[in-house]
Structure 1
Amino acid sequence: MTVHYSCLSVGPMDNNAYLLDDGAGHLGLIDAAAEPQRLLRWLAGRELDWVVTTHRHEDHIGALAQIVARTGARALCGAPDAGSIEGRTGVRCEPVWTGDHIGIGAAQLEVIGLVGHTPGSIALVAPGTPTTLFTGDSLFPGGLGKTAGPQQFASLFAGVTTTLFDRFPDDTVVAPGHGAATTLGAERPSLEQWRRRGW
């Protein structure tokens, strides 16, 4: 079953919030980053099943508490980031990690943990033709997300390579946490360059 999505750029860092729709009335939101009133208007009174936070950084959680309070939606995030998100937002997220699935109607989104940008960063795999990967700040057009040092970069590079590039075909869409979408095919030729430069 294909899951359709739309994107809204919010906040001073132009964060991408993604609204997923299974076509049968079930909605999910990825990254309630900022501007809760705009996000609520975007919902247009429709019921929201859940909000997934891709990682714990401040620019991705600014509207989380208000969206959850106003909609009653479930909140989910990568298990290693859950404590930090709760501490700063008051929202207790259901922890998810690699191998877990998040339902949206009859469809299932697969969770992939990507340690490096933060300890609990996650990507979501949405079914469809082509497949779409919601990568948060772990993968962008032109490179990986910022890491704190060589160890974190090595972890993120290995995770992105083995769980995304080695697994999914070139037409797979990458929907990142900021900026325009890309495809794995467009980015694949640059993997070795990214590895050599270390960012």
Structure 2
Amino acid sequence: MTYTGDVQVGGPADVRELPKLTIYKLAVGPYDNNAYLLRCAETGDGVLIDAAAEADRLLALVSDEPISAIVTTHRHGDHWQGLERVAKVTGAQVLAHPLDAPALPVPVDREVEHGDRIAVGVVSLEVIHLRGHTPGSIALLYDGGGTAQHLFTGDSLFPGGVGNTERDPERFERLYTDVVERLFDRLPDETWVYPGHGKDTTLGAERPSLPEWKARGW
């Protein structure tokens, strides 16, 4: 079946098969968060992005296969309600940016900074620090080669705009600038965006709206 990224709380995961990586997208309640499980096609190793909630469903998604890491994209509680249990059951390392790590309910095994790499078997994810939604918000980039870029943005970029900065002009300017310079200025339009809530998008679909976002200030 063709991947769409349209998932519902309580429904099945949507699955995207790439040559070297399989992506599972699952919606969990009560805040309609997206959790992503990435598995290396060669080794079977996995990484979970945002153990947001509904630990039982996340563990069912992981099944009996190994995951080496759980990455939390930022410190807001709706993105880590399932973290403690999933980490305990799987034994996976907990990863987060150092500026947000102290807010998590479990100790962080590895703090990751801008430009760091996170292994998923024989492939890796690049950490991109996007400041503004929270001080330590990160995105994760999987480079599949050429225009096959896959970007997991947490709550820093959605269809229709950047993440919530609570109408703080300094926070908005910081996040907007990071998103433009570290994502839009660098990556091709075909880059697929997997956000922390709701439907997916691409950088190409959002790029024409950048001036509008800047003008409105949110």
Give the TM-score taking structure 1 as reference length: 0.96
Corresponding position: 1:35 with 2:48: no
- Counterpart position of 1:96: 112
Corresponding position: 1:59 with 2:78: yes
Name the CA distance, whole Å, in 1 between partners of 2:109 and 2:162.
25
Alignment-mate amino acid for residue 12 of structure 1: P
Cα shift at 1:108? 1.4
Gaps of 5+ in 2: 1-18
Please give the secondary structure, in 1, of the residue aligned with 2:23: strand
Does the Cα contact within 8 Å between 1:78 and 1:121 map onto a contact in 2? yes
Match of 2:128 among 112, 116, 122: 112
Match of 2:198 among 156, 179, 183: 179
Does the Cα contact within 8 Å between 2:153 and 2:196 map onto a contact in 1? yes
* Correspondence list, 1:1-199, <5 A: 2-23=20-41, 24-85=43-104, 89-128=105-144, 130-148=148-166, 149-199=168-218
Name the CA distance, whole Å, in 1 between partners of 2:127 and 2:115.
6
Q: RMSD in angstroms over aligned alpha carbons? A: 1.1
Does the Cα contact within 8 Å between 2:67 and 2:92 map onto a contact in 1? yes
Greater relative CO, 1 or 2 (CA 8 Å, sep 6+): 1
Structure 1's 26 and 142: CA in aligned 2 closer, same or farther, altered over 3 A?
same
Cα shift at 1:90? 2.7
Alignment-mate amino acid for residue 167 of structure 1: R
Gaps of 5+ in 1: none
Does the Cα contact within 8 Å between 2:96 and 2:108 map onto a contact in 1? no
Does the Cα contact within 8 Å between 1:147 and 1:153 map onto a contact in 2? yes
- Bigger shift: 112-121 or 123-132? 123-132
Structure 1's 2 and 128: CA in aligned 2 closer, same or farther, altered over 3 A?
farther
- Bigger shift: 32-41 or 129-138? 129-138
Structure 1's 163 and 7: CA in aligned 2 closer, same or farther, altered over 3 A?
same
Alignment-mate amino acid for residue 107 of structure 1: V
Name the CA distance, whole Å, in 1 between partners of 2:205 and 2:109.
34
Please give the secondary structure, in 2, of the residue aligned with 1:179: coil
Cα shift at 1:103? 0.7
Cα offsets for 1:95-121 (capped at 9, x unmatched) = 111111001111111000011000000
Number of matched residues?
196
Name the CA distance, whole Å, in 1 between partners of 2:21 and 2:69.
14
